[in-house]
Chain A
Amino acid sequence: MNVSTKSILLASALALASPALAAAPEGVALADDQTFTYRVLDEHSSVDPQIVEDVSGSEIVRDLFEGLYNQDADGNLVPGVALSHTVSDDKLTYTFTLRPEAKWSDGNPVTAQDFVFGWQRLADPETASPYQWYVEVMGLANAGPVMAGEAPLEDLGVRAIDDHTLEVTLSAPLAYFPLTTTHASTFPSPKWVIDEHGADWIKPGNIVSNGAYVLTEHVPQERSVRERNPMYWDNDNTVIEKVAALVINDENVALTRFLAGELDRTEVPAGQYPSLKDQYPDTALSFPRLCNYYFNFNLSDGGPEATKDVRVRQALAYAVDRDIIVENVLQGGQFPAYTFTPAATAGFEQPATEYSTWTQEERNAKAKELLAEAGYGPDNPLSFSYLYNTSEAHKKIAIAVSQMWKQTLGVDITLENQEWQTFLETRGNHDFEIARGAWCGDYNEASTFLDLVQTSSGYNDAAYSNAEVDALLAEAKSMEDPQANYTRVEEIIAEEMPIIPIYHYAGVFMMNPSIAGSWPVQNVEQNWYSKDLYKVAE
């Protein structure tokens, strides 16, 4: 076969295996300058896939490295380094076929051993990764003993059958396992580079990555820059040449610089979305995000007596006017929350909890009733402290809710604002009466949220414990369609109200119109890849 036929066959094989999402659609005129500059709030923690722990770091890692699967603009799984996988009958073994043409930026091929190395490194107590627990979320066999250092790394349920076949063994069936492979912690690492440079391997100049971009510049607290990786298997479809992340702490300064043309993307300061939307209709965007925002009660032994009474908890929950918070305080297109899990979660049917169907007046009336029933009123007033961490947005919500409780129920709220570390310490020690909480999903499925209300969850700040909930959630892990269990858990949460759901997040951004067209607004996890973006000519 001559070269051209072979390459046509190869091209069509590629086309079947990986839909050309990265290329700009037909007939779109691309801008000359394909540089994407965006703002981040704070310096990222790391670009080492097994060490990174924050959102801005993960964004960079997703561009620099590539895992088994990626997400498309709608959040669905598409092939990354892996082309496809098969599942054994007992649902415990997954076999991934890797594409042979994937390469590292130094020319070495990406092999299954690189994944094995990466996952073992994640689980290795020596690495001291802050995301070490993710191997348990993935459900890998022997995760526990390996993490504790009691079993050798080879015992971890992942091995390379050959250079392009990866076999994963789980300890129990997990229906959403493939969803977990888009997480940055599961990306492969180049062993030879880490051996050579040690902790400095991620510095520009040393770093070798297998994604669409390579890290070329990093000035801490100022900026980081990544540029096209020509070795990337899909490099031909990458449009954006250069991506720069600028660290700007103050969101108002960031907005000013955006308007001056220095940025292509920045966050909209709380409350400013409506007027910015008016002034710049093509530029202000709002779309659902996979995060919630809620208040924790303290149900541990040291918590206040009053909130141990479920009627008090329900009363406080009903008296919060979520519409005001969403429409008057945040004003960014967020969603009032009457369930713990956001409606935007894939495969989740949000049940209509009873109190969500009433009007706010009805909720307020019912709240007063419940409070009186529980024995509190003007002659026996309630007072609580509400704990939150320093931030403009949290402050505004705290002020609004404390006033709602005061005006409707006569409850006196002392606001307690602590800086982040002290806040975490206080909340973690259950040393609060009511405290703020928020959670973003690690993967796009309801259990990433609902697992928090399990008795055993390390993130159960409210110290809530209900055996029925625990049983339902445990059962859901292996069910084909766990929706019925999830609905029941949400109903129990609404009845017992260990937490008060306040709102579900929206991503509210100012986005340069030339890039807004390619932005994956449907992806609620906001796993965006620079290789899928492109700038349209003005």
Chain B
Amino acid sequence: MSNGLTTLNPQQPKTAAMAERMAEVKGRSLWADARARFLRNKAAMISVVVLGAVFVFAFLGHLLTPYDNETIDWNVLGKVKELGKPSLENGHYFGYDDSGRDLFARVVQGTQVSLMVGVIGAAIAVIVGTIYGAVAGYLGGRIDSVMMRFVDIAMSVPYMFVLILLLVVFGRSIEMIFVGIGLTAWLDMSRIVRGQTLSIKNKEFIEAAVATGVPSFTIIRRHVVPNLLGVVVVYATLLVPQMILTESFISFLGLGVQEPLTSWGALISEGTSTMNYGTLWQLFFPLAFFVVTIFAFFFIGDGLRDALDPKDR
């Protein structure tokens, strides 16, 4: 009787030597598959490089310039339109801001703040929101109801007061901004995750897991969450720009980062108010960084989604 395996699997060893070599071949996990897919996605890889460059700029950019983010050049103050243009000779690569300070140094420092806010804020939102939403959605019933009503309340509470109180309690610091932004970001994520969970939990493989006696939290961890990852990843990449913009909204209201510290949001806001007056570079540079970073996160998000999608061929 012919061995079906032999004809179907060309790797079936025909000699002992081949059998030995085969033992060295490791199986490929699904995560490795995903990573391979991701690495093949050109747009995503370019974006990773670009994002890396932005990070390098943020944390090492101050080495490229002798200027800091707060010293005013008194000769330029008040005449920024004429004297403040970007130039390579005098070392002010991005020109001056409206208060006579070096814009390059300020953009470097602003990039640090915004990246941290964006990434850490989004990370908090993703982790807390996903867990909360998945638990609520999976457990259902009264627990779900209570947890979601709590989310409703948290969404409707006047956010400004929360910020004002946070400011009073924590004083003005970067940590306060993280807390302030993180407090509300996870709410949206939790609702989206809960919605997806409601749909997933009725699928057959969950039924099977329940039937074989897998405990609830293990089901959530091993079966629900990985199937959510597509939506979570995409939404997370939407969250990063949203965090940055929320931070700028907070600064716009006077509750955020304190001078002389700055962020992209604050720089863009200042640049917008002077855009009519002939100093467009003040808007262009921070906005350019912001846009490039968003695009990068977008393509990475898409790449991750495509890579992690178990049904993608």
Contacts and interface: CB of A to CB of B under 8 A. Distances in A.
Interface of A: 250, 252, 255-256, 269, 271-272, 275, 324, 327-329, 331, 389-390, 392, 395-396, 398-400, 403, 407, 415-419, 422
Q: Which of A275, A331, A399, A400: most chain B CB closer than 10 A?
A: A399
A390 B172 CA distance: 14
Contacts of B74: 324, 328
A417 B278 contact: no
A400 B276 contact: no
A271 B78 contact: yes
A73 to B, nearest CB: 32
A399 B99 contact: yes
A396 B260 CA distance: 11
Nearest to B98: A271
B81 interface: yes
Contact of A403 (B71, B255, B258, B272): B71
A403 B70 contact: yes
B276 A255 contact: yes
Given A271-B98, A275-B278, A399-B260, A328 B77 contact: yes
A275 B254 contact: no
Q: How large is the interface on B (under 10, 10 to 19, 20 to 34, 35 or more residues)?
A: 20 to 34
A395 B273 CA distance: 14
Contacts of B273: 250, 252, 269, 392
26 contacts: A250-B273, A252-B272, A269-B273, A271-B98, A275-B278, A324-B74, A328-B100, A329-B77, A329-B78, A389-B254, A390-B253, A392-B273, A395-B259, A396-B99, A399-B101, A400-B77, A403-B70, A407-B72, A415-B259, A415-B260, A416-B258, A417-B259, A419-B164, A419-B253, A419-B255, A422-B168
Contact of A256 (B78, B167, B254, B276): B276
Nearest to B99: A399
Contact of B77 (A255, A324, A398, A422): A324
Nearest to B168: A422
Contacts of B260: 399, 415
A104 B101 CA distance: 58
Tell me the interface secondary structure of chain A in the complex.
helix
Contact of A422 (B81, B167, B277): B167
Interface string B163-176: 01001100010000
A417 B258 contact: yes
A422 B259 contact: no
B276 A252 contact: yes
A399 B272 CA distance: 19
Nearest to A256: B276
Given A271-B78, A324-B77, A417 B72 contact: no
Contacts of A269: 273
B72 A400 contact: yes
Contacts of A407: 71-72
Contacts of B100: 328
Given A271-B98, A395-B259, A419 B254 contact: yes
A389 B99 CA distance: 18
A417 B167 CA distance: 11
Contacts of A329: 77-78, 99
A400 B81 contact: no
Contacts of B78: 271, 324, 327-329, 331
A272 B272 CA distance: 14
Given A256-B276, A403-B72, A416-B258, A275 B81 contact: yes
- Listed from nearest, the 7 A-B pairs whose CB atoms lie closest are A390-B254, A328-B78, A328-B77, A403-B72, A415-B259, A419-B254, A399-B99
Residue in B71, B78, B79, B276 with the greatest tally of chain A CB atoms within 10 Å: B78
B257 to A, nearest CB: 10
A328 B100 CA distance: 10
B278 A415 contact: no
Nearest to A395: B259
Given A324-B74, A422-B168, 4 more contacts: A275-B278, A328-B79, A392-B273, A399-B101
Nearest to A259: B276
A398 B70 CA distance: 12
Nearest to B72: A403
Nearest to A396: B99
Interface in B55-108: 70-72, 74, 77-79, 81, 98-101
Contacts of A400: 72, 77, 99
Given A272-B277, A422-B164, A422-B168, A399 B253 contact: no
B77 A417 contact: no
A180 to B, nearest CB: 35
Nearest to B77: A328
B157 to A, nearest CB: 18
Contacts of A389: 254
Contacts of B81: 275
Contacts of B259: 395, 398-399, 415, 417
Nearest to B75: A328
Nearest to A425: B168
A422 B254 CA distance: 11
Nearest to A397: B99
Nearest to B70: A403
A250 B273 CA distance: 9
A68 B10 CA distance: 108
Contacts of A403: 70-72
A396 B167 CA distance: 22
Contacts of A417: 254, 258-259
